[in-house]
């Protein structure tokens, strides 16, 4: 399963509100997701971004990819993510 961390749009017309979710990349944007890890509200001044850093690190370490919007949010909060190191058997 190809897992991605992305924003799922909610809210009414002209009033967007986004949930940061971990979902199968083949699912639609408003479809099923595995876990909700935060939210982003661009209507507030300044915009509000809340997320569970430990859960984002967990999923990223398991192999999830970040959407471009979530990647920009992580850069804005100065969070660097690293993959879990795996040991490769030598022959």
Task: Please give the Cα distance from 9 to 14 (Å, whole number).
Answer: 11
Q: Which residues of the chain have pLDDT under 70?
A: 1, 84, 86-89, 91
With the C-alpha atoms ordered 74, 79, 82, 83, is the resulting torsion angle positive or negative? negative
Q: What is the pLDDT of residue 14?
A: 93
Q: What is the pLDDT of residue 47?
A: 87
Which two structure tokens, joined as six digits, stand for 33?
Answer: 């997701």
Q: What is the pLDDT of residue 23?
A: 94
CA angle 24, 12, 64 (to 5 degrees): 15
The yes or no reply on domain 3-76 and CATH 3.40.50.1110 is no
Q: What is the pLDDT of residue 39?
A: 94
HSE at residue 11, side-chain half, CA atoms within 13 A, is: 15
Task: Please give the Cα distance from 45 to 19 (Å, whole number).
Answer: 18
Q: What is the pLDDT of residue 38?
A: 94
**pTM for this prediction:** 0.82
Q: What is the pLDDT of residue 63?
A: 87
């Amino acid at each position: 399963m190809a897992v991605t961390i992305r924003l799922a749009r909610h809210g009414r017309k002209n009033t967007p509100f986004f949930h940061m979710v971990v979902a199968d990349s083949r699912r639609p944007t408003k479809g099923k997701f595995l876990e909700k890890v935060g939210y982003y509200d661009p209507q507030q001044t300044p915009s509000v971004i809340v997320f569970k850093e430990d859960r984002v690190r967990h999923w990223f370490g398991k192999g999830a990819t970040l959407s471009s919007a979530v990647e920009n949010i992580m850069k804005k909060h100065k969070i660097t993510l690293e993959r879990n190191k795996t040991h490769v058997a030598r022959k």
